[in-house]
Structure 1
Amino acid sequence: MVPIYTVTKEGFKKMIRSLDKRYVIPSRTYFSQVAIPDLYEKCRAKVETELSKVEYYAVTTDLWSSRTTEPYISLTVHFIDEDFTLKSRCLQTAFFPENHTSENIAAGLREAVAAWGLDETRQVCITTDNAANMVKAASLNEWTRLQCFGHRLHLAVENAVKKDRRINRTAGVCKKLVGHFSHSWKARSALEKAQKELNLPSHSLITECQTRWGSRQMMISRILEQQKALSQVLSVDKKLRHLIPNWQDIDVLESVSKSLGPLLEFTDALSGEDYVKAARYGILFGPPVQDGLHHCGQQAPSQGQSDIGDDDDNHDMPGDCSCKLQH
């Protein structure tokens, strides 16, 4: 996708003329004031028709910032249509310059739901993260709230590893390693050459995203996969040899990957949009975890259930458990 002003660039105009000299490129104003608004109205009418037939629905929302730090609030509706097919529609991603107080959020969400003609009495629940303003906003609107399981899983993993110095140190080594290849075309080119020589997959390194725990696991897995190629490239320059993970780092990375790998697969299962995720919670609380909880003298959640519905964001976090799971 390219910005609208692309149609005003001389290079783009030249390309179009070479394709068809008879074609007249619509103006930037036409796209911004006619074409795109027309597409929006058609899309909105289609979604409104779908929603008019919905008996019950659920919504999800989140606050986030753009790359230019502009605040936005999004609202997505989820429902089952007449053919019993689960569907999701993003109703809005609106600029939200007001203070992010629970009162403002509650009012904004209520206005958005009303703007699409949705009856609040037919809303099953709203899913949010654990931010205090989001929790209170749902309470102010008297909406049933369901905690985001993916967000809680992220907090649980972060809480479990943040106190381990070995993991933190090794993660720092990985970030520096990835950073070097991200900012050096020469290094990436050398890595591609080493991958071919060693018959390794031609994969790029992955950068960790602080708000997505899975990105750390993917970063670690990729470094383990490309370990030989990375060592071959970095060992050539004495100034870069300190970036090569030592045997202790590799040992930690392998342990972390072995422990968190299954959780990453579980996260992927929760990311689908064509099925109900709650039905898959039982995977996490299968026999191994239940046996571990039983060994600790605690009651394990029943199959298909979890504690994500609690409003207390502190006492039921896995990282706060006073025992360790036995595998």
Structure 2
Amino acid sequence: MEDNPEVVILDEQARASNDEDHEAFCKKKRKTSSVVWENFHEITLADGTIVHQCNHCGEKVKKYKDGTTTPMRRYLQECPKLKVVQKGQLKLNAMPGKSDGASGILNWKFDMTRMREVIAHMIMVHELPFSFVEYDLFNVLMKEANPSYTKISRAMVKQDCISAYGIARKRIQKLLNLVNSCSITTDMWTSIQNIHYMVVTCHFVDSDFKLHKCILNFVEVPPPYTGIRIHDCLYECLKEWKIEKKDVTLTVDNAKTNDVVAKKLMENVSIQKKLPIDGKMFHVRCCAHILNLLVQDGLTKIKDIIHNVRECVKHVSASPGRLHTFSELSKQLQMPKKHLILDVSTRWNATYAMLSTAFEFKKVFVNYAERESTYKTLPSEEDWQKVEDVWHFLGLFNEATKVISGSEYPTSNLFLQELYGIKEAMDDLFLDERYGC
């Protein structure tokens, strides 16, 4: 009598299940954990002998009964092909030479660690989202650039950014530990979330007489925003960087609260060390801010004319139709390809840019008034003359501000000659007969 096929299949499945259950209680073979097994594998020779063969060069090493891996470890130290693998395969790269048609051959090695470091800096400098590294086309680009590139996640690049910050912070701390004095610059800002914070910048000269500029921190300042509160936040920042005893100067703007900050900080520093010239040079007032106050005060004398020009720009920019008309008139008069600029009333350099571009379009505004009946704010010829004078004079302040606001070079030796040039221009303007002097 033939066996039933279904019964046979069920018996085989039952035996397989029993075997699996039995194996669960059996002693399992210990998993090999030695690193040598990444470079060797077992093979059986024709005579039945089991040996270990190198994955790189094919050399065979005898297997010992006690399972020791020492012979394999020794061989890996001498394997010629493994040394090449560990060193990394160098690739040739043709570099353009100095002369025409000449080129040099250099070898280079792809380093994924270095690539992650560069990507982290790119994310921070350009303020990109962490998810940027997961964009499909970005990874396609990197793969096309080098097939050895390995995709990284947003969590990984976030950790890389934190690591990069930690490395940079340690590097700056080492530099600060080696200097005996430094200068601090600070200013208060308000974010779009209405959060008040203070940026603290440190300037110092190293042993090689190289000027360094380092942004130490962005310190949130809780209310009330008094001089004492700002001083406490600033002092904590300096203490965190271990430079509270190294201050030589403090550069701030001319706000009254900063007078209190400078006074309190100078008291703390003078207790711990003797300040140069008894601290007379400790509190440095921002020269660029002084120029800003001078210009703002002067612009109030011609605020009506500036308001008139501002209304002109607003009228033209109010609708696409007016902009089109103004643009066509500019082409007819062969004016330069520029755009009107609407200023920010609290920034005099923006007002300077508005006046300079508006004056260049003076003829266009005259023709525009003939075609646009709603345009009622055309400046008179006298007003245009005043705009021209103010424009040229503000140019001196604008250039001086650019020079003395530099942060990558010393400015203390430059601001005096810039201010003297402005003084001479003001004297010439004072003696000008057009102004009745």
TM-score range, shorter chain: 0.7 to 0.9
For 2:182, the equivalent position in structure 1 comes to: 57
Question: How is 1:1-327 mapped onto 2 (pairs within 5 angstroms)?
Answer: 1=126, 3-4=128-129, 7=132, 13=135, 15-16=137-138, 19=141, 26-32=152-158, 34-120=159-245, 122-142=246-266, 144-162=282-300, 164=301, 167-180=302-315, 184=319, 187-188=322-323, 191=326, 193-232=328-367, 235-239=370-374, 241-286=375-420, 289=423, 326=431
- Contact 1:224/1:250 (<8 A) preserved: yes
Which ranges of structure 1 fall in alignment gaps of 5 or more residues? 294-323
Q: TM-score, structure 2 length as denominator? A: 0.57
Q: TM-score, structure 1 length as denominator? A: 0.74
The code of the aligned residue for 1:155 comes to L
2: CA distance, partners of 1:138 / 1:171: 37
Flag the 1:288–1:183 CA change in 2: closer, same or farther, 3 A: closer
Flag the 1:259–1:31 CA change in 2: closer, same or farther, 3 A: same
Q: Secondary structure at the match of 2:342?
A: coil
**Deviation readout 1:36-60 (Å, 9 max, x if unpaired):** 2122112212222332332321111
Flag the 1:37–1:288 CA change in 2: closer, same or farther, 3 A: closer
Give the deviation of 1:128 after TM superposition.
0.8
Higher relative contact order (CA closer than 8 Å, sequence separation 6+): 1
Q: Secondary structure at the match of 2:238?
A: helix
2: CA distance, partners of 1:190 / 1:81: 59
Q: Please say which of residues 78-87 and 68-77 is displaced more in the overlay.
A: 78-87
The code of the aligned residue for 1:272 comes to G
The code of the aligned residue for 2:253 comes to D
1: CA distance, partners of 2:366 / 2:163: 55
**Deviation readout 1:260-289 (Å, 9 max, x if unpaired):** 222222112112223322212332453883
- Contact 1:4/1:31 (<8 A) preserved: no
**Deviation readout 1:215-253 (Å, 9 max, x if unpaired):** 2222211211232344455653322x2244332331221
Flag the 1:267–1:29 CA change in 2: closer, same or farther, 3 A: same
Q: Secondary structure at the match of 1:109?
A: helix
**Deviation readout 1:152-177 (Å, 9 max, x if unpaired):** 11112222332x2xx11111122233
Give the deviation of 1:195 after TM superposition.
4.3
**Bigger-Rg structure (1/2):** 2
- Contact 2:203/2:211 (<8 A) preserved: yes
Flag the 1:212–1:232 CA change in 2: closer, same or farther, 3 A: same
- Contact 2:187/2:252 (<8 A) preserved: yes
The Cα RMSD (Å) is: 3.4
Q: Secondary structure at the match of 1:286?
A: helix
The code of the aligned residue for 2:209 comes to F
Flag the 1:119–1:2 CA change in 2: closer, same or farther, 3 A: closer
- Contact 2:183/2:203 (<8 A) preserved: yes
For 1:298, the equivalent position in structure 2 comes to: none
Percent of matched pairs sharing the same residue: 23
Q: Secondary structure at the match of 1:208?
A: coil
- Contact 2:179/2:206 (<8 A) preserved: yes
Flag the 1:41–1:248 CA change in 2: closer, same or farther, 3 A: same
